[in-house]
Structure 1
Amino acid sequence: MTRLGYGEEMRRWRVARYRECDRLENADLSHTSATFITAGSKAEGLTCYLESDHDYLIVVKNVICLEAGINLYSIPDDLQVYRMDTHVYPGHCRLVLERLTSRCHKIIHNALCDNGNGDVLLSSSLLLDEISSHPRYTGQRGIVRHKCVGPSLPLTILGSMHRDNVPALRCLCPSVLHRWAARPRHWPSPVIVQKVVTLGAILTPVGFKGSEFKHMEWRINFNSGEAELVSNLNDIQAKVYVILKMIIKDIIKPTNKEITSYILKNIVLWQAERNPQTRFSAYSLLHWLHDGLRELRTAIAKKHMPYYMIPERNLMEACGINNKLHRKWVADITDMLEEGPGVILRLEKIRKAIVGSPEPMLWYSKKRMELEMLCLETMKRIAECRYENEMLNYSDFVQKSIGFRRKEVLIEVRQRMIQEGCSVNDLNDILDAMLQ
């Protein structure tokens, strides 16, 4: 797993680089109406550069959403305020306009609607429609935009980088976070618990799938807090999470996101909270992998998985698993549990790493990790140039040096591939294949 790029050192290096890129990007875009935050597996450091989508939260400035009980007059006057009506499915809310400001974003203004009872609500589906049709979103070259998926506005950049942009609003819901913090637990430490509380929450424009009024509802999320939690998982817990994701992708293969990596993340977070950290060692990896598979089987069988931050919310509710898939996946996971450690060999990446010769595998691993580091350093340097010079400087010496070294590594890889009988010549194809 470490040679494949999932070791603790590489994981923490990725997290630091993405956080630094976010800091530079937001410093450069301080005059804009939103803050950009890397989220998902990239923020957690658990995927290679092109291995999965790049998830970004676009948090609208000058807007705040409050749970009941928070005094409106404690909120600065320049913030537009919405009150959270949580009389809906757990973990969701409707947003009732509480206070307008003179600087109301046009996109948000166009998503307001009257509920017929004298209240003005902010519609989640109308907001997504407004953003997806905005000229700044539709008019950029080299970018292909795709149909909305939940709260996400997916796009592809230059044919190879897939990105999910998720609009979000800041949210103050201290009672929810304090209930989470007050739970008895083995993990994380009180210091990390307090940090997660201070990181707060956001709302994303997606309602509960089974709700008649989902177009008006918003989902409560704790992306920054969850990224902090995942970054504090130990090496074994993180690797269990990665292997579970591989099992879903390579063996279970859901076609419509009936089972997502988010469910697996919650399984691992519950494991960590409920068990002493001393039980998670290199010798117990397969034990916890099997424990995670059993939890997944139970979640599918009962269609129930409590959300780690708000246990009342069932992540499997209205997930779309029909009876045929239900029986198949329960049987498949049962077979994997009976297979024991051999289930690992079903996973292509791990199987190749195990059966491959040690020297070529180690050489390839070093080259792949160096290429990923160079790509992330390029991304960071581009952000630095924009921040320092207010423009992208293609003549920058550092960028040229990184690009030169990246080409050297790719030529070296191509030469070895040719020696071993492979006919791939395009360096960009090699780069994409190695970083997926």
Structure 2
Amino acid sequence: MYQEPNYTQTVSMRLSEVLADIGVDERMVLKRRRAWLLREAILNVNNQLWNENSFILYFFGSQLERTTTLKMGSDTDHLYCLNNFNVMQDWSEWIPCVHNLLMIQDNSVSPGYCLLQMLRRDAPLPLDGVSNQDFVRDRTGKLLLKHSILLNGYVDKSKFHGPARVDQGSHGNCDRDHVLAMHCNTWPQQARQWLDQQGDSQWPSAEIKQYCSRTGCLVVPVGCRGSEHEQLEWRISTSLAERCLMLNLNITQIRCYVLMKMVIKSFLDPQFEDVISSYMCKTVLFHCIANSHFNIWRENNLLSCLSLCLYLLYDNIINENCPHFIIPENNLMRGKISPVDKPYILEILNNIINSAGVALLGIECDGLGSRLHLKFYNLCPFKTREHVSGFLLHDTACVISSSKFICSAFNNEAVQTLTNCLSKILNDQCEGLVERACQLLLPMYCTTLGSVLASININQHNTVSADALKLISLGLNTDVASSKLKLASILYCVQEIQKADLVLSEIERSYDLQIVEPVCSCYKFKNKQLKQGFFATCDNANEDVLQYATASCVEFLPCEIHCVPTELRYEMIRSTQEDRTFRTEEDNIWMDNSVVDSLPYLYFLQYKVNSRLGKNNEKQSALSKLLRTIITEPNLAHRETAFNILGKCMEQEGRVRDALQYYLMSFNLRMRNNAAKIHICTLLSVMGNFRA
């Protein structure tokens, strides 16, 4: 880059173009927000159906705000707001028969924090007579709640970072932060002055502030570091209001925030990790927007906006004070910067600010520096924004798919439980994304209930009732294959072979191998690489495309056992008692079910159906496709199960050595909780008896 009369504008426009190329543009911001808010709605609908609305889930942070990129590795923030507590700031807000907690905000408490006094459930009076490790009585006799009460449910405290329990991502997944919180319906006293303040830019508007005040606040279980009452203090969080502020930023403000985080990640984190947090950068951005004219936040002024934010951050570090945007008395930098590190941090920031944008060429994250360099030579680097769409929709499909595993906990009462769920979905009055979430979940619940009824019918009468078939038909288009494969499996089990053949042929016609992606939510399986055809299909689409471009794994509960061919029933008894001790919580959700990827199951059923129909060529073709899929499809989540059913096919062919080989390949993929052990032992027994 070189200096010219309109240098700042030129760099700003090139920066804006580069960020758009990697997915930070208006369309992708709106798309990502919709996707994350839709997932939030789906999970909350399921929570209301199964957990009687015991909590409300909120997504926060970069993923929802679209202030991250594919390579930044931003975590996912999950906040669970518990509904069985009533946090109040005034005695008039007391509610009978719930856990009432009175917020105490006085001079003894750190700014931005509070104490919680436990009250009686039967009268608006202080609670007496309780003494255990979760409560402390202060000098005046008030019974105060320790914030450890919300953390005691987690066994491994080493995974905590502040108030959040961090689940480390595996196989390339992002980390997930889980925060437990309690909601207070009223705006915090310490933040009430903010509602009346107005900066130079008239941002945020009176309407936005009015909305923010209606969100109330949250209290999260963490005290101010170094405080005298650290174990008793609860942080007052205005995250719901801040989410509203973030969702009202323009694209230049969002890009400025992304660039700030890239600067910190590239130049400060390698030497001073976690000293300057993303939340500090967000707070600095808020202050800059509130105290500058709105007209400066334009694409052709992005570099100046970034410099403005970095100047303020520099000033905050000098003073070791980054005031919270809504509760300014809360200093976010308190105790964060050591005297030894401070001059080096300031030097690095000063060099970046004075480089007039040249330092940005050194940012390797998402190839931003090299992409910017190419832009100045009028070259067009590869655009990744269509990949963002693909990953977004694939993740949405996983969330929808995961809903079916909730049924596992109610296996013995599946009919009544699923009927109740369907009734709630149909009768609830909802709108917006909650209504859309219900529309996406309804077909899945219909198919599951229909399959459970079909299993009962087959067991009792060896046929399937019209009611069961009608329910199954309502969910046939949830994706390309999984629900239709359930129907084909049921038809096969009741000897309706010709009908099963027709269904399988329809599935194969609609399953475009260049586009359709397998979807699995059983465990933290990370897809190696999604297909280019899938990315292209998703680029200009919303969640409606999932029924044409994804294929969820096919899952049968134990109460659906009569809808499952004999070969696949072994998956329901895959675990010995010893194996069970090696299961994770995620494993327990699905490992007592029969679960198989759609494409291998399609070819397996074709093999079985064509065997019954005496079509030898078609049977061998299906067997070849099954083997080829297992070997070449990179994104099979249940490859070990696919090897198991391939082994059963080989047994039917009389190729026992090949069968043993495939069982062993399955076993090598998953050495515990794998039905391959049963197949190997049975086959070796048969081979031994044959030789004898």
CA distance in 1: counterparts of 2:291 and 2:158, whole angstroms: 40
Quote the Cα distance in structure 1 between the aligned partners of 2:286 and 2:105: 25
For 2:42, which of 4, 21, 24 is the aligned residue? 24
Q: Which position in structure 1 is the counterpart of 2:263?
A: 247
**Which structure carries more relative contact order (alpha carbon 8 Å, separation 6+)?**
1
- Equivalenced residues, count: 399
Which aligned pairs between 1:82-231 and structure 2 lie closer than 5 A? Answer: 82-87=101-106, 88-100=109-121, 111-115=134-138, 117-128=140-151, 130-133=152-155, 147-156=159-168, 158-159=170-171, 160-171=173-184, 172-185=186-199, 186-231=202-247
Q: CA deviation at 1:7?
A: 1.1
Distance in 1, matches of 2:394 and 2:122, equals 42
Check whether the contact 1:21–1:383 (CA below 8 A) recurs between aligned residues.
no
TM-score (norm 1): 0.82
Deviation at 1:46, TM superposition (A): 1.7
Partner of 1:105: none
Report Cα offsets for 1:280-326 as digits up to 9, x if no partner.
1112111111111111111111101111011111111111x212210
Q: Partners in 2 of 1:282 and 1:98 — Cα distance?
A: 53
1:382–1:99 distance in 2 versus 1, CA, 3 Å:
farther
Q: CA deviation at 1:261?
A: 0.5
The farther-off stretch of 345-354 and 237-246 is: 345-354
Query: Which structure shows the higher strand fraction?
Result: 1
Tell me which residue corresponds to 2:394. Answer: 375
The residue number in structure 2 matching 1:351 is 369
Counterpart residue type for residue 410 of structure 1: L
Cα 1:110–1:256 shift into 2, 3 Å: farther
How big is each residue's C-alpha offset from its partner over 1:124-149, in whole Å with a ceiling of 9 and x where there is no partner?
13431x1213xxxx8xxxxxx96211
- Work out the CA distance in 2 between the residues paired with 1:310 and 1:299: 16
Q: 1:110 offset after TM fit, Å?
A: 6.5
1:410 aligns with 2:431: no
Report the structure number with the largest CA radius of gyration: 2
Shift of 1:99: 2.9
CA distance in 2, matches of 1:183, 1:303: 24
Residue 180 of structure 1 deviates from its aligned partner by 1.3
Correspondence list, 1:180-329, <5 A: 180-185=194-199, 186-253=202-269, 255-319=272-336, 321-329=337-345
**Matches of 2:67 and 2:190, distance apart in 1:** 27
Q: Paired residue for 1:15?
A: 33
Match for 2:59 among 38, 41, 44?
38
What SS class does the counterpart of residue 215 from structure 1 fall into?
A: coil
- Structure 2 unaligned segments of length 5 or more: list them: 1-18, 124-131, 407-440, 452-474, 482-510, 519-528, 535-631, 637-692
Gaps of at least 5 residues in structure 1 are: 103-108, 139-144, 415-424, 430-436
| Deviation, structure 1 residue 251 | 0.7
In structure 2, C-alpha distance between the alignment counterparts of 1:154 and 1:403, rounded to whole Å? 38
Q: Which amino acid aligns with 1:246?
A: M
SS of the aligned residue for 1:228 comes to helix
Q: CA deviation at 1:356?
A: 5.0
Question: Bigger shift: 253-262 or 109-118?
Answer: 109-118
Letter in 2 for 1:150: G
Q: Is the 8 Å Cα contact of residues 371 and 406 (structure 1) preserved in structure 2? A: no
Instruction: Tell me, in whole angstroms, the C-alpha distance in 2 between the residues paired with 1:184 and 1:163.
Output: 36
Whether contact under 8 Å (2:284, 2:312) holds in the other structure is yes
Q: How far 1:383 sits from its partner (Å)?
A: 6.4
Q: Say which SS state the counterpart of residue 84 (structure 1) adopts.
A: strand
The 1:360/1:407 distance shift into structure 2, 3 A limit, reads farther
Identity over the aligned pairs, expressed in percent?
Answer: 22
Q: Does 1:54 align with 2:76?
A: yes
Per-residue Cα deviation, 1:367-412 (whole angstroms, up to 9, x for no partner):
4123223224314533676653569979974444799636498344
